[in-house]
Structure formats: structure tokens, C-alpha cells
Amino acid sequence: MKQKIDIPVTMRDGVTLSTDIRIPDGPGPFPAIVTRTPYNNSGFAPNDPYLLSGYVSVLQDCRGRFDSEGRFAPFLEAEDGADTLAWVKAQPWCDGRIGMLGNSYCATCQLTAAWMRPPGLLAITPGIMGCDLFKDMVYYNGVLNLSMAFTWGAGVSGRSGQSHETSDLQNLFWHLPLADMDETAGFRMPHFRECLAHPVHDRYWTASSVEQHYGEFNVPALHSGGWYDFFSEGTTRNFQGIRAKGGPLARASQRLVMGPWPHGLGGRLTGQLDFGEPATMAIDTLYKRWLDRWVKGIDNGVDREPAVQIFMMGANEWRDETQWPPADARDMALFLASGGAANTLIGNGDLTPVKPAGGASLDRYTYNPANPAPTLGGGMYGFPNGPTDHAPLERRDDVLVYTGNRLEQPVTIAGYIKGVLYIESDCVDTDFVMRLCDVYPDGRSIILCDGIARTRFRDGLDQEVFMKPGTVYEIEIPMSVTANVFLPGHRIRVEVTSSCFPRFARNLNTGEPSATGTRMQLAHQTVWHSASRPSRIVLPILP
């Protein structure tokens, strides 16, 4: 092996990025695997399988990180990626064939480079990455993904990695206003403040949106993610969008693998559940097979394997599909019903396939932002995450619980989950959270997925329209994605509440700007479920 360490690669604006290169022994030239990272390019394993099998390994620090010049501008990586690949392709040790590797932010570096269509880029492997910062990443459906935005943002706020060893995160998350949370914590986080300064979906967000560029992709891509990853929805939408709108090669060569995993792929233990040996996957081996096929041209059959592989939780087995969502999925609505007291798991909330036929029927609760319903597992950034028993949460009076009958036959779902609520509040703005749970025979209520809607965005994420207190509104709540078999003896459950803290920043209910608001107000919430106001969850049912 020959190595070239801390090589300055010049970008179009003159900034140089530190690049480490390892070249296999032999006459060359060789194909190259490029990883661009904000997390330090110094980590290299001597037994790297790509180097050992005849690839040049290229590891680069992103702009403004570690040994690279410039200012770090998170998620704006397209030009640097294209310039780097052009430089790699022109080197005498490269034969002109390039693939890209890396999960999470490193997947952003792949996707943004790929939509530039740089010559020589033949395949990418973007794992666990969203499609739009305001829709499913730093924000989710317009609500600040607080635990991720602050914790991750602080970690990359300096040129080197920043530590939280002495940060009191549990208290920091409560800090108001959000706009000076970084200063209170002792960090300087310009990107965090920029995100807060753009509270609607505007040009600031579209500049980094993968979703905006689906039509510009024309490269084979292996997308991988987990049902309990906070980027689960974006991972599936990237696959779906590029396959539908990309160039001919992209449309024919997208692949999706989704397992029962959090923001780390391939294991059998997630949260409080063991999904068994079938959940164990050597995802790195799959990446290499993908790159061998498309970069080296090795006929290893990976391109003839199913386009979509999804892990069916509950049954704990893999299922092959030709597309996402599955072609044979059919929407089924389950309607919320009660005797007017769905509060807590011992209330009278019901979940039924029968649409309400009667008149006014409703449930009420009070949401207090000073005492929000906490996050329990799910797509939390950090721990605990993953499948977690929500029975403790369902003892709170500000959580409505709607539970179906015990199942006699299995019910299989896979796809995007959606909630529709008819709501009323005495505040001009508030939040509603809907959550889908699988209730086990022993009483455990295991979270599958959830979502949140901020009522000011009910007419679109690009505008804020406040409510008239006492008026009934229909709102739609995207609840991300999942794939699960509800087994006989289990029950399907839906929770409705108004907070999931600290995963999502609290709505203070006053209508003040989210970044600078400090005044809290109780919100007296009403959820309607009647013939004319049929609140419901919509599940994609598989035969």
C-alpha cells in the first residue's frame, strides 16, 4: 500500500479540503471509493476490504472540519462533492471509475454529489439519510427535532469534534428561548441559529433538499435504513423519488433495504426488543457487493436481487417487494371512538374499522407545555430509542388512548402511516402527536411509529396560519413509515397527545415565534370523532 496523507484538494472557490489517499500495491490505475465526512478522515482500518480488493481509498474532511479549510455549511455539499470527484478522476492512480460510501451525514455527501452528475461516479450507497431538512431531518413536518438539532449541531459546531461530557442535556432541553440555547450551553452554533431563523419552508431549506433534485440523479443507489431511525421516512422517499423521477439508469437501479434498526444498521437488538437472528445483516458486505457490481462491473448478481427488502417486525422475517410502498398495499382506516373519556389506557377509547354514524362525540385533555408528555423510544436521536413500552406514558391524563379488539388473525402493514384528526383548541397554535403501537398480550404497548403536526402549518409548511380558538379544523399528521405484523392476540393502539419532548421542541401555545417565545399557555384540546368529523388512522394493509 502507498499512502498520501493530508493532500490539499482545491475546490472551485480556492478552498482546499484535506484528503487522505491509500493506493493498493500493483501497477494500477485502480477504481476509487470516496468517503467525504465531517467526523474526521483519520479513521482507517488496515484491513479495509476495498483497499484489499483493489480500490483506492479516498477519505476527505468536509469543508470547515478538522484539517480542511473554509467554513462548515451543513448539508450544502454538492459543489465540493462534484469538485472532489473530478479531482479523483483526473489522478494517475484512478482508472476513472468511482463509487461513494458512508452512512448518515456521509450519505448526504453522496446524494448531493450524485445530483451534480459528475463524470466517473458509477454508484452510491446512501444509508440512513433524510430527504429535506425541514420535512424529516432537523425539523419534522415543520417542528424542530430538538434532540437531534441541538445535540448533533453542538457536536459539529467547532472545527474538531465537540464533546457533551459536561453538558447537562436533560436540563438544557428545557431552556427557553431556543434562540440562545447554544450560548447557555457554552457552544457557538451558527447553523442551529440559522435553522431557527427560518421557521417556514423557504429557499433556505430548498437549497439543501435532496427531494428537489430527484430528477437530476442518474446513478445506481443502494438506500438502507431502519424503521426506528429518525430518517426512516426520508430514506424510503429518496429511493421512491429517484426511482420515479431520475434518469434511465437511476430508475432501473435503485435498491432499498429497511430493517428493524435505529440510527445504526444490522443488529438484532433494538430498544426493548430482540428481533432475532434474521434481523442481523452484514450491511457492509452488501455495500461492497453493490459497489463491486456497478464500479468494477463484477457480475455478482446483486443487481438481480429484489429491488426492495423490508423486515416485517412481529413476524421477524424479511419480505421482498418490487416497489415501495408495496404494490399490493391497500389503505384501511381505523376510526377513533369513545364514550367521551379516552384519557389514559384505562379510559374508554376504542379503535374500530366502522366509521362513526352518530352525532357529536369527542374527547378532551389539557396540554401543559411546562409538563409535556415525554419521548419514550421511537425515532429519538440518542437514547433511549427504538421499540419501547408506552404503557407508562399512557397513564397520563393528557394522552388519549384508542385500542382495537384483540386480533384473531394477523394484520400486516407496510408503508407510510397517516393520521387525520378533527381538532379544536382554545389557543391560536398548538401541536398534535399521533402514535401507532402494537399491544402485546402481556400489556406492553410497543411504539411502531409516530408523527407531529403544528396547527399553524395546516395549510402548508411554507406559511403560518393561526387558528381561531373554538373553531374545528381537520389536520393531517404524517406518521413516518413502518412494516409490522400484528399477531393474533395482539391489539392495535393509537395515542393522541400534544408533545413528544425532547424529541420535538414544545409548542408554547401562544403563537409567538418558535425561536424566541418564552411565554407558556395551557391548551385545552378537543378531538372530535363523529359521522361528520371522523378522526382516524390510515394503515397500508398487505394481503
CA nearest to 199, candidates 530, 507, 446, 525: 507
Rg, the chain, Cα only: 24
Residues 6+ apart with CB under 8 A from 427: 467, 469, 509, 510, 511, 521, 523
Q: Which is it for the CA torsion 210, 211, 212, 213, positive or negative?
A: positive
Question: How many helices, marked H, and strands, marked E, lie in the chain?
Answer: 12, 25
Residue 309: DSSP 8-state? E
CA nearest to 143, candidates 497, 468, 418, 501: 501
Report the amino acid identity of residue 293: R
d(CA 497, CA 451): 11
d(CA 26, CA 45): 20
Residue of 213, 223, 263, 490 marked active site? 263
CA nearest to 53, candidates 20, 19, 21, 30: 30
Cell representation of residue 341: 373519556
Dihedrals phi, psi of 477, to nearest 5 degrees: -120, 110
Helix, coil or strand: residue 204: helix
CA nearest to 267, candidates 385, 124, 415, 436: 385
| Whether residue 53 lies in the annotated active site | no
CB atoms within 10 A of CB 157: 18
170 burial level (CB within 10 Å; 0-12, 13-18, 19+): exposed
Cβ atoms 271, 279 nearer than 8 A: no
Cell representation of residue 530: 363523529
> Could you give the maximum distance between any two Cα atoms of the chain, in Å?
81
Cβ atoms 235, 128 nearer than 8 A: yes
Residue of 18, 104, 361, 514 marked active site? 104
| Whether residue 229 lies in the annotated active site | yes
| Whether residue 320 lies in the annotated active site | no
Report the amino acid identity of residue 72: F
327 burial level (CB within 10 Å; 0-12, 13-18, 19+): exposed
Dihedral (Cα; 529, 530, 533, 536), 10-degree rounding = 50
Cβ atoms 231, 449 nearer than 8 A: no
d(CA 259, CA 267): 9
Residue of 20, 67, 80, 229 marked active site? 229
Q: Which is it for the CA torsion 61, 67, 70, 71, positive or negative?
A: positive
Active-site residues, by number, are 104, 229, 263
